[in-house]
A = this chain, B = another copy of it.
Amino acid sequence: MQLMDEVVTQPRFGPLPRKDEAAIPAPQPPKQALRDAERTRARILAAAAAEFAQKGFAGARVDAIAEASGANKRMIYYYFGSKEGLYTAVLERAYAEMRASERALELDHLEPFVGIQKLVEFKFDYFVENPSIISLLNGENMQDAAYLRRSDRMADMHASLVQTLDALLKRGARAGSMRRGVDPLHLYISISAVSYFYFSNASTLSKAFGRELGTPVENKLRRKHAVEVILAYLRA
C-alpha cells in the first residue's frame, strides 16, 4: 500500500472524524503534537489495508490489525469507531488514491493510440504496485459492494476517465485510424479486465496451469500482451 501515502489528506486526529475527513483544511498545529495521532492513524490504516486485503472483511481480525500497526486495539475504535468504520476508511482511501492517480494521467492531448496505450500500461503498473486494491475490490464485489455502496465520497469516481476515453476514441475515429462505434465504458472495462484478472486470479491460474504467474518475467509478457489486445481491437 505504498502509493497510498502519497494521497494528500489533511492530518486528522481525535475520535471518529468520519464524514468528509479530508474536506476541511485544518490549521497547521505544532508539528510534534500532531505527529503521534496522525502517524498512529496512518499506521492503523496501513495495517488494516493489508489485513482486509488478505482476509476479507469477515476474515480480518481487529487484534491482528492492532498488533501489526503497533497500536493499542482501543485506538482502532478511537479513530475509526468500529471494524466496519475502519474497513470503509481503508476502502475509501484505496479508491480515492486510485482515482487521484488516474486523474494525474492527463491523456487528453495525446495521440489517441498513444493515450490508450498509456492507460493500459498505467492500469497494469498500478496493480503491480498496489496489489491490495485488487483484493479489496474483490471482497467488495463478493458482497455486492455492500460498503462502497453506502459511501458518498466516491460517487463521481472514474466518470472523468470514461469521458477522456470517449474523447480519444472520437478523435481517433475522426482521423480514420480508429475503429468506430466503440462504447467507451466497455472499452474501459476491457482495459481493466486484461490486467486485473491476470492479477486477481493469479493464484488459481498458476495452480490450474502449473505456470507461476506474477513473476517479473511473466508480468512483462502479460503487460505487452495486454497492450496488443487493446490496440489491435481499436485499429480501424
Give chain A's interface residues, CB within 8 Å of chain B: 53-59, 135, 137-145, 148-149, 154-155, 157-159, 162, 179, 183, 185-186, 189-190, 192-194, 196-198, 200-211, 221-222, 225-226, 228-230, 232-233, 235
Contacts and interface: CB of A to CB of B under 8 A. Distances in A.
Contact of A54 (B143, B149, B190, B200): B143
A155 B157 CA distance: 40
A200 B139 CA distance: 10
B208 A158 contact: yes
Nearest to A52: B142
Given A59-B58, A194-B190, A141 B201 contact: yes
A138 B140 contact: no
A55 B190 CA distance: 26
What does DSSP make chain A's interface, helix, strand, loop or mixed?
A: helix
Given A193-B194, A225-B190, A207 B53 contact: no
B142 A54 contact: yes
A191 to B, nearest CB: 10
A211 B235 CA distance: 27
A57 B59 CA distance: 8
B148 A204 contact: yes
A154 B206 CA distance: 12
Nearest to A154: B208
From A202, A208, A235, residue with most partner B Cβ within 10 Å: A208
A211 B162 CA distance: 12
A189 B207 contact: no
A231 B196 CA distance: 20
A138 B196 CA distance: 12
A100 to B, nearest CB: 14
Contacts of A141: 135, 138, 200-204
10 contacts: A55-B142, A56-B59, A56-B139, A138-B139, A141-B202, A145-B203, A149-B207, A186-B225, A189-B197, A194-B194
